[in-house]
Amino acid sequence: MNAKRRIIRTALLALIGLVVGCTIAWLQIQADRNQQTMPQAASNTLVSGIALDGSFDMTDHTGRAVTQADYDGRFKLIYFGFTYCPAICPTELQKIAQVMKALDSAQAEKIQPIFITVDPERDTVEVMRQYVEMFDPRLVGLRGTPEQTEKVKQGFKVFASKVDTEDGGDYTVDHSSFIYLMNPANQAVGIYRMQDDAAMITADIARILGDS
Ligand code: NI
């Protein structure tokens, strides 16, 4: 009887947790919608009220030590992920490649696309080099020590967490998926979500470049 009660209680708590989780997700979606339809909002993006530290100290895919200062005077289009990601990372990096191709050459010259790995353990400089080449010759891949990686994740408020797979041999990484547009002063001026397509991002970047 006791065990049965415990099971029922656990099931109830799980159900409550699910409802609370869904409500939070729903509220988040509503907030995003409101933000998008706000007439005074200059952009379609989620930037308002988000302060990010856009600095980094890492190694690029050619083995060169770089910081944000190496891309001075340019905007940066930054995505965080890992090369073993089966679907979302390649989709988003493909999107960045499409945006770079869709911008006219004068606009594209003002943008440095960057992929930062949240899995430096497996994403060595060589792995990063081979990976970024598949998307766009202009794409820079950055990796850091675990400490450097933690710091840049915190700066951009990136969530990423290692998850062991069922078979126990390999692991995957759950991570947030946003494309950040940083201005030359390293402030976020655009944050794009998975549902924002290349055409929308291209138009938004062209508008932002036109204003700057
Ligand atoms: Ni991914």
Q: Dihedral of CA 39/43/159/90: which sign?
A: positive
- Band the pLDDT of 7: cuts 50, 70, 90: low
Ligand 1 is a single-atom ion; what residues have CB below 5 A from it? 81, 85, 88-89
Q: How far is the CA of 146 from the centre of ligand 1 (A)?
A: 18
Torsion of the alpha carbons at 142, 175, 55 and 129, rounded to the nearest 10: 10
Q: How far is the CA of 2 from the centre of ligand 1 (A)?
A: 43
pLDDT at 212 over 50: yes
pLDDT at 30 over 70: no
Please tell me the distance from the alpha carbon of residue 93 to that of residue 3, in angstroms, as a whole number.
Answer: 50
Which among 86, 78, 173 is positioned nearest to 122, based on CA atoms? 173
* 105-124: average pLDDT: 97
Q: How far is the CA of 119 from the centre of ligand 1 (A)?
A: 10
For residues 76 and 211, the model is more confident at 76
Q: How far is the CA of 88 from the centre of ligand 1 (A)?
A: 5
Q: How far is the CA of 102 from the centre of ligand 1 (A)?
A: 23
Contacts of 26 (CB under 8 A, 6+ apart): none
* 72-86: average pLDDT: 96
Q: How far is the CA of 114 from the centre of ligand 1 (A)?
A: 15
Q: What is the pLDDT of residues 156-192, one digit of tens each?
A: 999 999 998 877 678 999 999 999 999 999 999 999 9
Q: Measured between alpha carbons, how far is residue 15 from residues 4, 7, 20 in Å?
A: 17, 12, 9
The pTM (predicted TM-score) of the whole model is 0.78
